[in-house]
Amino acid sequence: MRWEELTSDEFAEAVVECGRVCVIALGVMERHGPHMPLGTDMINGHYICTEAAKREPAVVFPPWFLGQIYEAKCFPGTVTIPPTMLVELLLGIFDEIGRNGFTKIIAYVAHGGNNHLVPFLAQAQLAAPKTYQLYVFRYSSAMTDKQRARWREVLETDGGGHAGESETSIMMAHRPELVKMDAVGERTGRRQGRMDHLRGGLNALRWYADFPEHWAGDARPASPEKGKALVDIQVECLAEYIRAVKEDEVAGQLAEEFFRREAELRGPTGG
């Protein structure tokens, strides 16, 4: 169920019907090679969520595009906001989802540049007790070996990390009019390795050093058929996770135990 399409009264019912589970795809607004739209991660991420929520009911938060993307600031159309504001904003959005009655929030990391940010936000949940639990979902860790094998079978390349075969195929599967394959020609987003002398560490320009056109991978073998097969795997994987989160009682119980022990450190108050 899409949050923005429900009436206020329907929304209240949906929260209960969905077991108080809300899913938000954390996308971004950034260059995706020469052929894919700026909102690729937001568009694909939100689509996967809405399809997964059809298999395992959950309320899907409206399309979201504010995330960590400073490394694409030098390209037209990127949207960044100050880093501390971004953290406050996302924590505020989670609280706002919780205020609307959800006790479980799934943050689906639909943009690789958020790979450091979102787990930090999850850990920051222990700063103070909440009325909800935050669960971070990433395909890299959520896919089963079988799903991973199916994924590899579909692709001719390694998929590419950004606007490559996999991401381009997925967009072709549901929004083909947004993919401009003419702009690809014989070009690829080949890794440049300009910071390979510093491998093992992290510098803010690492990604830019490797992919100066903000494009990682080979989009040429992409096709809508491959995209449909990949979407099916992603949707299945996320739907399974929504189900597991819905059934989970451990996170809430542990949070209670954890904060009770923390309160005991402070000793008896007042009286």
Q: Which is nearer to Zn ion, 104 or 162 (CB)?
A: 162
Q: Which is nearer to Zn ion, 40 or 50 (CB)?
A: 40
Instruction: Give dist(CA 62, CA 144) in Å, integer.
Output: 28
Helices (H), the chain: 8-17, 40-55, 83-99, 117-123, 139-142, 145-154, 165-174, 206-210, 224-247, 250-265
- Give the nearest distance from C-beta 36 to Zn ion in angstroms: 8
- Give the nearest distance from C-beta 170 to Zn ion in angstroms: 9
- Give the nearest distance from C-beta 263 to Zn ion in angstroms: 42
- Give the nearest distance from C-beta 166 to Zn ion in angstroms: 10
CA distances from 70 to 1, 24, 50, 115 (A): 32, 21, 28, 13
Contact between 71 and Zn ion by CB under 5 A: the answer reads no
Q: Which is nearer to Zn ion, 40 or 234 (CB)?
A: 40
- Both tokens of residue 151? 């994924």
φ and ψ at 74, to 5 degrees?
-85, 5
Binding to Zn ion in span 22-41, by CB under 5 A: 40-41
Name the residue number minimizing CB distance to Zn ion.
41
Tell me which residues touch Zn ion (CB under 5 A). Answer: 40-41
